[in-house]
Amino acid sequence: MRLFSSESVTEGHPDKIADQISDAVLDAMLADDPASRVACETLVTTGMALLAGEITTETWVDLPTVVRDTLRDIGYVSSAYGIDAHTCAVISTLDKQSPDIAQGVDTGGAGDQGMMFGYACDETPELMPAPIVFAHRITRQLAELRHTGALPWLRPDGKSQVTLEYDDEGRPVRVHTVVVSTQHDPDVSQETIHEEVRRRVVAPVLPDDLFDADDCIFHINPTGRFEIGGPHGDAGLTGRKIIVDTYGGVGRHGGGAFSGKDATKVDRSAAYASRWAAKNVVASGAARRCEIQLAYAIGVVEPVSVFIDTFGTGVVPDRDIEAAVREVFRFSPAAITEALKLRDPIFRPTAAYGHFGRTPEQREVGGRTVQLFPWERTDQADALKSRLGL
């Protein structure tokens, strides 16, 4: 028996509040000035949101309104929750981007050095690791039941963790353990929380072929009470949930966070591009698992390295897959931005429940149609098949 666990957090978790505010600021600037350079960090704590970072833009954004609207959408509309969208303090210390960085980016180079990873596998229809997919399903269900009022005692903060058992071939065989911690009103009993979370949150979102409630270990609000949460329980910061944002600990991570950064920051754009390429490799049938590393130097247009590992699951040698990927995909920041339309205001929806494994969809923003999660397309799978002779 081999066990692997991944966690997710709800949109009301303090770190995720910070991510969503940072990306809401980014979207507001891109909507009017697609050339905006944005690196926005957010701190949230009891009764206050603080914005910091470096921004160069030709537009003006009402930052307090962006912050308050984001908090309101999440559900922080009462001082009893520790932060109230209507009354909280909003402080901004944003400054202009350094001209030393700008001179490298202006010529199409990367906004910083670093390495980024993309990953895909055939465990789920989303071509994602199953533990993180299932953990996100649980936290999304918590939010859905809260927003609709189906479980009116739920409050915005919450977490899930799912442990899967794998066989010797690396295939998931059953859900072994489920952990759910959810903030709640003070007048609801723990017995009610345990019963409703098992019956209405967990059971509806896990697959019958892997989940048996009678053969699964549950830990629901294991401390016994979770009334104080959100920014009142813990300060939240942009970029502290990078494993939740990506693959749940499966595969490697370059270390750079995503939220609040425009596409010149390869921490974000190259991570999206490497996921796009890795997903297409798996979708093409070239491998069951694929991890792609891209590495960049600040101000340099092309990546300094492209590395592909299929962990022995490739039907052709990894070097052949790498050659095909290099032919099909272009990994300069400008090429990634153009191919994935990363100057569009599409980022706030990424800031909760993962950047990957989502469904590409079109949405109207500011009178124009944009595509969300374009890096989740498998539109290059046939091109890879052709080049690999599959």
Please state the rounded mean pLDDT for residues 223-252: 92
pLDDT at 150: 97
pLDDT at 106: 59
| 334 catalytic residue (yes or no) | no
- Which among 157, 267, 318, 344 is annotated as catalytic? 267
Q: Are 386 and 316 in contact (CB under 8 A)?
A: no
- Which among 136, 241, 275, 288 is annotated as catalytic? 241
- As a whole number, the mean pLDDT across the chain is 94
CA 116 to mean position of chain CA atoms: 14
| 187 catalytic residue (yes or no) | no
- Burial of residue 302 (CB within 10 Å: 0-12, 13-18, 19+) is middle
- Which among 7, 11, 13, 289 is annotated as catalytic? 13
Each residue's pLDDT tens digit, 96-141: 776 656 655 655 667 778 899 999 999 999 999 999 999 999 999 9
Angstrom distance (rounded) from CA 236 to CA 33: 28
CB atoms within 10 A of CB 246: 26
Please state the rounded mean pLDDT for residues 344-352: 96
Please state the rounded mean pLDDT for residues 295-306: 92
Each residue's pLDDT tens digit, 163-192: 999 999 889 999 999 999 999 999 999 999
- Which among 33, 122, 165, 234 is annotated as catalytic? 234
- Amino acid letter, 387: R
- Which among 52, 235, 297, 334 is annotated as catalytic? 235
Confidence category of residue 364, pLDDT binned at 50, 70, 90: confident
pLDDT at 309 over 70: yes
Quick one: what percent of the chain has pLDDT higher than 70? 97
pTM over 0.85, yes/no: yes
Question: Residue 249 — left, alpha, or beta (φ > 0 → left; ψ -120 to 50 → alpha)?
Answer: left
pLDDT at 193: 95
Q: What angle do CA 289, 167, 317 make, to 5 degrees?
A: 25
pLDDT at 43: 98
pLDDT at 103: 57
pLDDT at 79: 86
Confidence category of residue 366, pLDDT binned at 50, 70, 90: low
| 13 catalytic residue (yes or no) | yes
Quick one: what percent of the chain has pLDDT higher than 90? 85
- Pairing mode of beta strands 217-220, 83-84: unpaired
- Helical packing angle, 381-388 and 266-283, nearest 10°: 60
pLDDT at 100: 59
Q: Greater confidence, 61 or 109?
A: 61
| 322 catalytic residue (yes or no) | no
- Which among 226, 258, 329, 373 is annotated as catalytic? 226
Strand partners, 158: 182
pLDDT at 371: 93
| 234 catalytic residue (yes or no) | yes
